[in-house]
Amino acid sequence: MESNPAYVYEIELDNPLPQELQLIDPVREVILVAASPLAAITYQHDGPPSFLLGVIDPENMRKFLDEQAPQPPPAGGTPRRANLTIELETIVRSLRDAEILAIGNISPAFIRQRIEVSL
């Protein structure tokens, strides 16, 4: 038995939520403060679609981060990697890592399963 176990709880909530409970979606919170898609610095990228695999899993998919960004014909541009902004990285990591956050007490009646995870 680990001395510092971690748990993931599977819960099922009623709609509407109990009045004392508030749920927060981290991805939505990040998107709400993101710049317009037309802004000079934005959450868009200029790499191939596989570029996002490298952002999602940089340890195992680094090759996709290192691919050259597509260049316009006929002569093309200077070879370079795709643009990764902190905004795009934050959105992708929020989507990859975040769960719904709860503010308030969740009644034990809503817990369907407790899963122990190893860290």
pLDDT given for residue 5 in this prediction: 81
pLDDT given for residue 113 in this prediction: 95
Is 109 within 8 Å of 9 (Cβ atoms)? no
Is 91 within 8 Å of 44 (Cβ atoms)? no
Which of 16-20, 52-56, 62-66, 115-119 has the lowest average pLDDT? 115-119
pLDDT tens digits, 84-98 = 988 889 889 888 887
Average pLDDT over residues 22-26: 90
Complete DSSP assignment for 52-92: HHHHH-TTT-HHHHHSBPP--TTT-----BPP--HHHHHHH
Residues 92, 52: Cα–Cα separation, whole Å: 8
Is 96 within 8 Å of 32 (Cβ atoms)? no
pLDDT given for residue 96 in this prediction: 85
Residues 31, 20: Cα–Cα separation, whole Å: 25
Percent of the chain with pLDDT over 70: 97
Residues 22, 105: Cα–Cα separation, whole Å: 9
The helix/strand/coil state of 26 is helix
pLDDT given for residue 9 in this prediction: 86
Strands 101-103 and 6-11: unpaired
The domain locations on the chain are: 1-25+100-119, 38-93
Percent of the chain with pLDDT over 90: 27
pLDDT tens digits, 47-95 = 999 999 999 999 999 999 999 888 888 877 888 899 998 888 988 988 8
